[in-house]
Structure 1
């Protein structure tokens, strides 16, 4: 069976991982995340954090990661939930400057 090279990327503020994989043609974005074994690379997070994360490819969010078939060279990115609303963060930074 033909294989393609892809990457799976995840980052925390102080730690990141980009995992290079060779996967069978037809592998989905969700399947690649499982193959990357991110819970083993980020033991400080609960394994559930990687079960159904928002996924994207090169900064473009995927609507259906469980059915999106990867192409050679794709980089699957896992997006963490926001800890603060971006508008609130801007307001807080502006208030500090005053």
Structure 2
């Protein structure tokens, strides 16, 4: 490993509220996981409505597990639950 490259990971943790998006950058050791990034970012304190037991998470739009390992420059995303089923909404629009 080159001496000028810092060891560890730099990742973003993102969560979109209806009124604004929260994006925080965090540094983790090599082998850091999605859950570690979320915990380290402090986003759970800023957004108490997040429940990791029920909210889905992903990396760059692909669903991921909390124990999934991260790579440098990854973007961890925390997803809000859907308010309406997209299929039901399309069906309703088509019926009109």
Q: TM-score, normalised by structure 2?
A: 0.79
More strand by share: 1
Deviation at 1:54, TM superposition (A): 1.3
Aligned length: 90
User: RMSD of the alignment, in Å?
Assistant: 1.9
Residue matched to 1:55: 57
Residue matched to 1:35: 40
> Which 5+ residue runs of structure 1 have no aligned equivalent?
none
Q: 1:3 and 2:17 equivalent?
A: no
Residue matched to 2:27: 22
Deviation at 1:4, TM superposition (A): 1.2
More helix by share: 1
> Which 5+ residue runs of structure 2 have no aligned equivalent?
1-5
Query: Could you tell me how far apart the structure 1 residues matched to 2:47 and 2:37 are?
Result: 16
Where 1:13 maps in the other structure, the secondary structure is coil
Per-residue CA deviation, residues 33-78 of structure 1 (Å, 9 max, x unaligned), is 11111232225x2xxx33333111111111x322x11100100011
